[in-house]
Structure 1
Amino acid sequence: MDSKAWALCFLDEGVALSVISRKETRCQWLEDEGHAHEHLLNDYVHYVAELGELDPEQTAIAKERFVLLMEQYPEPEALTEYINDLTVGLTRILWFGPVSALAEDYGDFPLALRAFYWQEYGEGDEDPVTPIVEDDWIYMVECMDEFLLQDDY
């Protein structure tokens, strides 16, 4: 996995929970920040529009709002918060940012992921906040789906 890679991980809050009574999580692993923003503006907006049953005009307006938010809030954490405010009841972004931050940062989500990772892949003596080295990011990525289904995010 490349050090420039980004991730978009989200949870369906509407349809999946009401129809099948379980969490539906998705993670999209993206080449770099540019591709991540492109994916957010195209694929994610259309996914949200489909969940919300928006018509093409409403979808275009939603995309414009995403563009404005991306300009106003370039930091992934703030952008995620504001996008989640727009998509409440449909879907919620759990992580939008560099994979390196998942492996190294001390926010709640990266810390919880690393604790799960070390429990699954460690030898039992690792501190759960220990950063994951780049060569092992692929294993962190592999455990993401199971992690998301285990925890309450």
Structure 2
Amino acid sequence: MDNRLWSLCFLDEGVALSVISRKETRCQWLSDEDQARHYLLNEYLQHVAELGELDEQQTLVARERFELLMEQYPEPETLVEYLNDLTSGLTRILWFGPLSALAEDYSDFALALRAYYWEEYGEDDEDPATPVAEDDWIYLVEAMDDFLLQDDY
């Protein structure tokens, strides 16, 4: 598995609460950080604009705000915090970062995913916070879809 792989996982809050009354979660896997940031600034922003029914001018203003935040806060966790403030009520980013961080970090989302992963793929003696070895990252990626259907995040 490519150790440069990044993902953007988000929950459509407005759609989930008003139309289908269940979580609508999406996870996009991207080849590296550059592609992930490009996706965030283009496809994700367009998705937010559609959910918020923004006109062209409002979308341009939102893009400028996204660009400014991306410059000011290059660290994924901090960036996500600010982006989620902007998109409150429409969508919420659950994870934006490298696969290696999902496999090893101690953020709430990464820990919850690994706990699910070890429950599904591990044996009974694994600590749910145990990092996932790089050789097993493919299984962590596979576990993500089922994990996102859970209510634990």
TM superposition score normalised by structure 2: 0.97
- Per the alignment, residue 95 of structure 1 pairs with 95
Determine if the alignment matches structure 1 residue 124 to structure 2 residue 124: yes
- 8 A contact 2:7–2:97 mirrored in 1: yes
Q: CA RMSD in A?
A: 0.9
- 4+ runs of 1 displaced by more than 2 Å? none
Structure 2 residue identity aligned to 1:51: L
Distance 2:150 2:100 in 1: 22
Distance 2:61 2:79 in 1: 17
Q: CA deviation at 1:152?
A: 3.8
Provide, for residues 34-62 of structure 1, a one-character-per-residue CA deviation record: whole Å limited to 9, x for no partner.
Answer: 00100000000000000000111111111
- Per the alignment, residue 60 of structure 2 pairs with 60
Tell me the percent identity: 76
TM superposition score normalised by structure 1: 0.97
- Per the alignment, residue 32 of structure 1 pairs with 32
For structure 1, which segment, 58-67 or 142-151, has the greater mean C-alpha deviation from structure 2 after superposition? 142-151
Provide, for residues 126-147 of structure 1, a one-character-per-residue CA deviation record: whole Å limited to 9, x for no partner.
Answer: 1111111112111111111221
- 8 A contact 1:25–1:145 mirrored in 2: no
- Could you say what secondary structure the match of 1:129 adopts? coil
Distance 2:115 2:135 in 1: 18
Distance 1:149 1:17 in 2: 15
- 8 A contact 2:7–2:30 mirrored in 1: yes
Distance 2:140 2:7 in 1: 12
- 8 A contact 2:95–2:109 mirrored in 1: yes
Determine if the alignment matches structure 1 residue 18 to structure 2 residue 18: yes
- 8 A contact 2:112–2:152 mirrored in 1: no
Structure 2 residues not aligned, in runs of 5+: none
Structure 1 residues not aligned, in runs of 5+: none
Provide, for residues 49-92 of structure 1, a one-character-per-residue CA deviation record: whole Å limited to 9, x for no partner.
Answer: 00000111111111110000000001000000000000000000
Provide, for residues 85-141 of structure 1, a one-character-per-residue CA deviation record: whole Å limited to 9, x for no partner.
Answer: 000000000000111000000111111110100000012111111111112111111
For structure 1, which segment, 56-65 or 38-47, has the greater mean C-alpha deviation from structure 2 after superposition? 56-65
Equivalent residues, number: 153
